[in-house]
Amino acid sequence: MKYKLHVIDTTNNKEYDFHFPGSKTILEIKQGLRDVTNIPVRFQRWVGWPDSLTDENTKLGALDLPDSVLELILSKEEVPPKSKKQLIDLTSSESENEFEDAAECFGVDDDMFQASSSSKKIQPLMPEDIEDEVVAVSNFEKEFANRYGPCHPSFQGTLAEALQASCHKPAKERRPLAIYLHHDASVLTNVFCTQLLCSETVVSYLALNFVTWAWDLTYESNKTFLLAVLSQNLGMAAANAVRNIALNNLPAIMVITKVRSTPEVLTVIPGNVGLDDLMTRLIHAVEVFNSAMQSEIWEEEEREAREKVKREQDAAYEASLLADRAKEEARRQEVEEKLKQEEEELLKKEELEQIRQHEEEVRDAIRRSLAEQLPPEPAADSSKPVSHIRVRLPTGITIGRRFTADTPLSLLLTYIASQGYPAADYKVLASWPRRDLTALEEQKTLEELQLYPKETLTLEER
């Protein structure tokens, strides 16, 4: 059975794919990598071999390896210069084994080692000398997905936006901010990203409980840029926390929480942890955060309740003021309407009075005109026959006048009309025989109408 090894050479910034049979020992593999990478076996530092590997003479097939691909990271260990004597001592049989020809292990004819014909150069997650925070994080997201696959935490926007989405929310909606700090020069980076940060368990837990943001510290210029951003948004304590993280502890996850007024660093989780340890620390950070937030949530609820009561009281007061104003306005409108009606009624009365006075003046003028048409009243001892006529008005008052017996009926009716009772509106009734004089011939005299020597007439409104 053959095994595929994917080796990331961080020293030379290259990647290789190898196929080995299970009969090859770990030492033989390391000796073969010496000629490919130019890193002596004694200076090779590996990350990713199973924990069960204790003897370099162990055969590959004896290890509990995955069926697909084993991810390994290779780097060169820096050691101080040794004395001449020590260098001479290195010519032991073991050293000879390390520097012997590796053709046996990596020859093409034996079909046991197949390296990629062209090594793939790793692209940085962020270009050097970054100036735009949004562009930097967007490039980080893209290159991270290209390097480690689509299953990874989401990194978007600026640090200020991440803080706004996590820390600067009401207490019930607040979440911790997890800042992932990456460094390509660290031997822990590939294993941490592939086996921890991009595991479904970690990705799901971060998405549910955290807001995530990331930065690449590989270039010193970008690290300086991040320290300035941290100082501006979180203060010098957060910047110093990043500055003090050693390379052998990177990558790292820095957890930022806000309790009370100011965001602060809750914890920094280094990259030299396992999956269980990482999950334990993330869960612990969430528990500490939630515990600290309980009192603030309670205080916020109390404050909201007080503000709600105050708002309700203010609303009730405003409603009362509006009601009072509405009542006052209604009263004012009622008074104005009443005054308007009184003014209209007064004007109407004045108009009617003017009409009445005008009509009265007209009637008086008519009465005067009719009175002027009457002949003088004969004296009681006149030598001519005189008829005494009495007229009972509708008001109960009786008026009377003397007329000569040869006075026509028209003058009698003119007299009655001059008193304000025209024949058009009133009947003039004689008692015996009962008749309406206004219906008789007006040329007949009083004597002919048997209204001589005296008669009492009654007026009846038509």
d(CA 105, CA 270): 37
User: Considering Cα of 106, then 107, then 108, then 110, what sign does the dihedral take?
Assistant: negative
User: Considering Cα of 120, then 121, then 126, then 130, what sign does the dihedral take?
Assistant: negative
Inside any domain, residue 285: yes
Inside any domain, residue 408: yes
Instruction: Give the pairing type, strands 69-76 and 2-9.
Output: parallel
pTM: 0.46
**Same domain? 150 vs 10:** no
In contact, 410 and 439? CB cutoff 8 Å: no
pLDDT score recorded for residue 228? 93
Share of the chain above pLDDT 70, in %: 90
d(CA 253, CA 284): 14
- Largest alpha-carbon pair distance within the chain? 192
CATH number at residue 447: 3.10.20.90
Sheet holding 426-430, edge to edge: 398-404, 386-392, 454-461, 426-430, 435-436
Per-residue confidence band for 67, with pLDDT thresholds at 50, 70 and 90: low
Work out how many domains the chain is built from and give that number. 3
Radius of gyration of the chain (CA): 61
If phi > 0 it is left, if psi is from -120 to 50 it is alpha, else beta; for residue 366 that is alpha
Per-residue confidence band for 243, with pLDDT thresholds at 50, 70 and 90: very high
pLDDT score recorded for residue 10? 85
Residue 189 has pLDDT above 50, yes or no: yes
Residue 356's alpha-carbon distances to 224, 342, 361, 366, 394, in angstroms, are 105, 20, 8, 15, 20
Domain boundary among 273, 294, 315: 294
Domain boundary among 279, 294, 309: 294
pLDDT score recorded for residue 55? 81
d(CA 43, CA 51): 20
Inside any domain, residue 316: no
d(CA 124, CA 14): 12
Share of the chain above pLDDT 90, in %: 44
Residue of 429, 418, 6, 454 lying closest to 194 (CA atoms): 6
**Same domain? 67 vs 140:** no
pLDDT score recorded for residue 412? 93
Residue of 352, 457, 462 lying closest to 415 (CA atoms): 457
d(CA 58, CA 60): 7
Inside any domain, residue 269: yes
d(CA 390, CA 62): 158
Q: Which of 83-87, 273-277, 329-333 has the lowest mean pLDDT?
A: 83-87
d(CA 371, CA 412): 11
Per-residue pLDDT averaged across 75-101, rounded? 45
**Same domain? 159 vs 240:** yes
**Same domain? 269 vs 390:** no
Domain boundary among 34, 49, 76: 76
Strand partners, 387: 403
Per-residue confidence band for 11, with pLDDT thresholds at 50, 70 and 90: confident
Give strand ranges (E) for 63-210: 69-76, 177-182
Inside any domain, residue 313: no
**Same domain? 61 vs 145:** no
If phi > 0 it is left, if psi is from -120 to 50 it is alpha, else beta; for residue 253 that is beta
Residue of 274, 302, 253 lying closest to 191 (CA atoms): 274
Q: Which of 86-90, 175-179, 250-254 has the lowest mean pLDDT?
A: 86-90
Per-residue confidence band for 41, with pLDDT thresholds at 50, 70 and 90: confident
**Average predicted confidence (pLDDT) for the chain:** 84
Per-residue pLDDT averaged across 31-41, rounded? 82
The domain containing residue 268 runs over which residues? Answer: 133-294
d(CA 437, CA 445): 12
CATH number at residue 221: 3.40.30.10
State in Å, rounded, how far the first CA of the chain is from the last one.
Answer: 139
Residue 320 has pLDDT above 80, yes or no: yes
pLDDT score recorded for residue 114? 42
In contact, 440 and 374? CB cutoff 8 Å: no
Residue of 215, 199, 206 lying closest to 274 (CA atoms): 199
pLDDT score recorded for residue 458? 94
d(CA 400, CA 196): 135
In contact, 449 and 436? CB cutoff 8 Å: no
Per-residue confidence band for 376, with pLDDT thresholds at 50, 70 and 90: very high
**Same domain? 68 vs 193:** no
Per-residue confidence band for 78, with pLDDT thresholds at 50, 70 and 90: low
d(CA 368, CA 391): 19
3-state helix, strand, coil in the chain (%, to 5): 45, 20, 35
Q: Which of 16-20, 106-110, 411-415 has the lowest mean pLDDT?
A: 106-110
In contact, 282 and 206? CB cutoff 8 Å: yes
